[in-house]
């Protein structure tokens, strides 16, 4: 019997869009929300969009897909990322 072939993947996270709900949001992003006085009331999803997508239209990060009532984008200083927040009301 042969052993299953192992696959190794190198995934560059610098081009990944990461999405969380508030409970699983990294603490550094929660701190950014507090520092910038960004409301988390009625927020459903938070996405971190890398600078590589700055000029791209990404339909599923817009209303009504990502937030059924409101989607806001917040640039994150010098790192070039944008925090996208989707709200349900």
- The residue ranges of every structural domain in the chain are 13-87
Query: What is the per-residue pLDDT across 42-86, written as a single tens digit (0 to 9) for each?
Result: 999 999 999 999 899 999 999 999 999 999 999 997 778 999 999
Cα→Cα distances 68→17, 45, 76, 77, 81, Å: 19, 11, 23, 27, 23
pLDDT (tens digit, 9 = 90+) per residue, 14-52?
789 999 999 999 999 999 999 999 999 999 999 999 999
Q: Between the CA atoms of 65, 68, 77 and 33, what dihedral angle is there, to the nearest 10 degrees?
A: -130
Q: How far is 38 from 33, CA to CA, in rounded Å? A: 5
Which pTM value belongs to this model? 0.83
């Amino acid at each position: 019997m042969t052993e299953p072939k192992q696959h190794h993947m190198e995934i560059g996270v610098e081009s990944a869009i990461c999405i969380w709900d508030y409970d699983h949001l990294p603490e550094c992003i929660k701190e950014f929300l507090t520092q910038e006085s960004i409301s988390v009331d009625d927020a459903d999803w938070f996405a971190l969009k890398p600078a590589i997508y700055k000029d791209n239209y990404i339909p599923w990060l817009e209303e009504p897909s990502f937030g059924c009532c409101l989607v806001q984008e917040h640039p994150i200083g010098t790192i070039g990322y944008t925090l996208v927040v989707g709200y349900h009301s």
